[in-house]
Amino acid sequence: MIIVDAHQHYWQPSRGDYGWLAHAPAVLNKAFLPADFHAQREAAGVKFSVLVQAAPTEEETRYLFELAHIDPAVVGVVGWVDMEADDVGARIDALIRDGGGLLCGLRPMAQDIADPDWLARPSLDRAFDCIQDCGLAFDALVGMPQLPALCRRLRRNPRLSVVLDHAGKPAIADGRFDQWTSWIDELAQHPPLHCKLSGLLTLLGEPVHEDAIEPYVADLFAHFGAERLMWGSDWPVLTTHADFSHWLHVAWMLTERYAPGSQADVFAANAARFYALDIDLPVPDFAGVSP
């Protein structure tokens, strides 16, 4: 079966625009590039991936376009644009042009912005309208503090194609569940919204066992179904807690537990459809199966 990684990163700290790395685990403060990842991805049987921005600059998005030409497995790029710029429409058009078909979405690093209500600001209306009009997806990199603003944004832009990165970063290490699941319940009422089955292991604190993610995964399947979930590795951030193949195995087993037989959707088809990726996926054979 073809597997699509809906969320992976490359970065080169010497570029100087990854400010968040100063506060990240030391093991992440180095270059992670195609040559560092190819063997792991191939060994795990993952054929394609979506490359996601890791710096709040348009220059880094263009750098990712360059890396995508080096790495043939990359079939889409989720970039960054200055969403508060007066000429945001022209900036998005330029990124689409420079990407040559690679740009499939945009992602502000909302979790790092001091104002938790930033996503709901009217000053961003123009940017969201442009994203929607251009047929791009919006990756919501948010944590618990930003979820209320995201809900308000979705009420303002009901047709926006949104994917919630890393399940909205629930407080798994603290065992808090109720507040997160109430926000997930509201977000799930927005039909175009999808959710990434990604980034959960890195939310664990010591000595919390990885089994602690299961109630959250179960809740995601209950709210979104297998039709609106897509698997992502979040490599190389993942490497602080697990290797690539291990997370793929864990996610695969949990998917089989809560949505038996739906791996083709969760691990490939949903991402391909959501991001409009130019890849050929096998058509399931339903011959002899009753409707």
Q: List the single range of 160-164, 168-172, 282-286 with lowest mean pLDDT.
A: 282-286
Separation CA 58–CA 175 (nearest Å): 37
| Position 284 pLDDT exceeds 60 | no
Task: Give the model's pLDDT for residue 205.
Answer: 81
For residues 109 and 139, is the Cβ–Cβ distance under 8 A?
A: no
| Position 27 pLDDT exceeds 90 | yes
At residue 283 the predicted structure's pLDDT band, cuts being 50, 70 and 90, is low
Q: Is the pTM of this model over 0.85?
A: yes
| Domains with residue ranges and CATH for the chain | 4-274 (3.20.20.140)
Tens of pLDDT, residue by residue over 196-242, are: 999 999 999 877 789 999 999 999 999 999 999 999 999 999 999 99
**Cβ neighbours of residue 104 under 8 Å, at least 6 residues apart?**
50, 76, 77, 78, 136, 137, 275, 276, 277
At residue 174 the predicted structure's pLDDT band, cuts being 50, 70 and 90, is confident
Between these two residues, 289 and 105, which has the higher pLDDT value?
105
Mean pLDDT in residue range 131-137: 97
Task: Give the model's pLDDT for residue 286.
Answer: 33
